[in-house]
């Protein structure tokens, strides 16, 4: 029996993992990245900025290809990789640049990105179990 509390997803914006990753991206882009030292402009700042922004973008782009099982799953895999990269970057911020950034916030963000990675993994596994639309299965 369907769960009446669950809403159907009609857009990538309805995916909890998208919402979490976008919201967390703003927390990295505003209080963390601007406070890193200028010497990290072309290294950690750039890399972290790219990885945090890539996660919600990959989820959105993958959702557009949700009827192509492999297409959507590839984007989810890439988003998981970006989550892992972001976790490493946030740990570097905390461990190397603790005098510039809020280390407790860094720890909180690492935990959130860990959850996002697990959400992406579960979404990828669940999506593979959904039956594809009949019209998409026919070859012509």
Mean pLDDT of 27-42: 97
pTM over 0.95: no
Spell out the domains of the chain, with CATH numbers in brackets: 19-128 (1.20.1440.60)
Confidence band for 42, pLDDT divided at 50, 70 and 90: very high
What HEC string does 114-127 produce? HHHHHHHHHHHHHH
Query: Comparing 56-60, 87-91, 121-125, which segment has the lowest mean pLDDT?
Result: 121-125
CA distance 95 to 103: 8
Taking each helix axis as running N to C, give the angle between helix 44-64 and helix 16-27, from 0 to 180 degrees, rounded to the nearest 10.
Answer: 160
The neighbour count for residue 67, using CB atoms within 10 Å, is 11
The band of 41, judged by pLDDT with boundaries at 50, 70 and 90, is: very high
């Amino acid at each position: 029996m369907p769960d009446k509390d669950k809403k159907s997803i009609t857009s990538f914006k309805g995916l909890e993992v998208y919402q979490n990753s976008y919201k967390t991206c703003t927390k990295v882009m505003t209080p963390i990245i601007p406070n890193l030292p200028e010497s990290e402009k072309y290294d950690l700042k750039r890399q972290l900025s790219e990885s945090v922004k890539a996660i919600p973008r990959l989820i959105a782009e993958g959702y557009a290809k949700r009827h192509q099982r492999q297409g959507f799953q590839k984007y989810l895999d890439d988003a998981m990789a970006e989550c892992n990269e972001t976790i490493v970057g946030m740990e570097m911020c905390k461990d190397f640049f603790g005098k510039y950034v809020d280390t407790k916030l860094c720890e909180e963000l690492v935990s959130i990105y860990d959850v996002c990675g697990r959400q992406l993994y579960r979404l990828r596994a669940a999506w593979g179990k959904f039956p594809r639309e009949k019209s998409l299965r026919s070859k012509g």
